[in-house]
């Protein structure tokens, strides 16, 4: 039996984090590196991924590489998987953090906007899972961590694309958990509440942000970026070996109401 903190040790493990160059993706990459993991940070913007990876490697002393890929492009995703195996020899953890949010009432949004959110948030996650699962199976302790949202569990007006996409991630995660259990690969989702990410910056100081976002939480504040790290580390490590198909809310009590 592993005592205490060793349950969270990721030494000699490798993680691929999409959307890893900033925001929650970068915060999770830093958490994994601090626990001993090697990490690949994936972004559509290669220079951002490389710069973030250099900083992680410098700060935590473990291998960190950047990789440019569009998660909606199957050939990019396959290249990402191949590059991760080439860099690390094996991959143990996949975090699907790439995502967008387009706000607006349903009559003000275009079909193209709805499809864009679904393509990145849902199709991109599915493609990355499909590409990485063969390698996670070989690991013998594979972990899939999908980024859903509190808005995959509850609704909010003017968010039909985003709520729909994150609800889909919830169900995708449950299906994968059942499909992969026999291979010792777990699939779980984090459901963050109001973190002050780049996606949420436009509403940070609006009445909507104060009343319907922060005001909906029990703790009454925006989350700090590092507050995703403990939950992510739990799901990535041996501490969660009997946890699969779970939706772990990190939402300041939003969904408790």
Domain that holds residue 138: 4-249
CA distance 131 to 146: 14
Q: Is the pLDDT of residue 202 over 80?
A: no
Give the model's pLDDT for residue 188: 98
Q: Nearest Cα to 231, choosing from 146, 156, 165? A: 146
- The CATH number of the domain holding residue 153 is 3.40.50.720
CA distance 220 to 99: 25
Give the model's pLDDT for residue 211: 74
Which residues are registered as beta bridge partners of 14?
38
Q: Is the pLDDT of residue 198 over 90?
A: no
Whether 143 is covered by a domain: the verdict is yes
Residues counted in the chain: 257
- Tell me the catalytic residues: 162
Whether 85 is covered by a domain: the verdict is yes
Contact 235, 243 (CB under 8 A): yes
Whether 256 is covered by a domain: the verdict is no
- In this prediction, residue 101 has a pLDDT band, given cuts at 50, 70 and 90, of very high
Mean pLDDT across the chain: 94
* pLDDT tens-digit series, residues 120-147: 999 999 999 999 999 999 999 999 999 9
Write the CB contacts of 40 (distance below 8 Å, at least 6 apart in sequence): 14, 15, 16, 17, 20, 53, 64, 65, 66, 67, 80, 83, 84, 87, 88
For residues 210-223, average pLDDT:
85
- In this prediction, residue 210 has a pLDDT band, given cuts at 50, 70 and 90, of confident
Alpha-carbon torsion (220, 222, 227, 231), positive or negative: positive
Q: Is the pLDDT of residue 161 over 70?
A: yes
- In this prediction, residue 208 has a pLDDT band, given cuts at 50, 70 and 90, of confident
Write the CB contacts of 245 (distance below 8 Å, at least 6 apart in sequence): 173, 174, 177, 178, 187, 188
* pLDDT tens-digit series, residues 2-46: 567 799 999 999 999 999 999 999 999 999 999 999 999 999 999
| pTM, full prediction | 0.95
Whether 116 is covered by a domain: the verdict is yes
Total domain count, the chain: 1
For residues 81-91, average pLDDT:
98
For residues 165-176, average pLDDT:
98
Which residues are registered as beta bridge partners of 223?
195
Give the model's pLDDT for residue 2: 57
Q: Is the pLDDT of residue 247 over 90?
A: yes
For residues 178-189, average pLDDT:
98
Contact 70, 44 (CB under 8 A): yes
Whether 227 is covered by a domain: the verdict is yes
Give the model's pLDDT for residue 254: 94
Q: Nearest Cα to 131, choosing from 52, 197, 191, 67? A: 67
Look at the block and give the residue holding tokens 């973190």: 195
∠ CA 144-40-134 to the nearest 5 degrees? Answer: 45
Q: Nearest Cα to 42, choosing from 25, 56, 55, 60? A: 25
Whether 255 is covered by a domain: the verdict is no
């Amino acid at each position: 039996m592993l005592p205490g903190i060793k349950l969270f040790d990721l030494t000699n493990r490798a993680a691929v984090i999409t959307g890893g160059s900033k925001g929650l993706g970068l915060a999770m990459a830093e958490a994994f590196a601090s626990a001993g993991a090697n990490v690949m940070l994936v972004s559509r913007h290669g220079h951002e991924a490389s710069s973030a990876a250099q900083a992680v490697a410098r700060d935590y002393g473990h291998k960190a590489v950047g990789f440019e890929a569009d998660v909606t492009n199957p050939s990019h995703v396959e290249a990402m998987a191949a590059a991760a195996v080439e860099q690390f020899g094996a991959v143990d953890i996949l975090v699907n953090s790439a995502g967008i949010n387009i706000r607006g009432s349903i009559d003000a949004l275009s079909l193209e906007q709805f499809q864009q959110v679904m393509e990145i948030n849902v199709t991109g996650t599915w493609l990355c899972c499909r590409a990485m699962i063969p390698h996670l199976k070989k690991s013998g302790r594979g972990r899939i961590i999908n980024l859903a949202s509190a808005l995959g569990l509850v609704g909010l007006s003017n968010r039909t694309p985003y709520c729909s996409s994150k609800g889909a991630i919830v169900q995708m995660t449950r299906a994968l958990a059942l499909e992969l259990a026999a291979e010792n690969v777990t699939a779980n989702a984090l459901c963050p509440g109001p973190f002050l990410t780049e996606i949420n910056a436009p509403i940070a100081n609006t009445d909507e942000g104060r009343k319907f976002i922060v005001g909906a939480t029990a703790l009454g504040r925006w989350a700090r970026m590092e507050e995703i790290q403990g939950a992510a580390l739990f799901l990535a490590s041996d501490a969660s070996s009997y946890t699969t198909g779970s939706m772990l809310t990190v939402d300041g009590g939003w969904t408790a109401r």
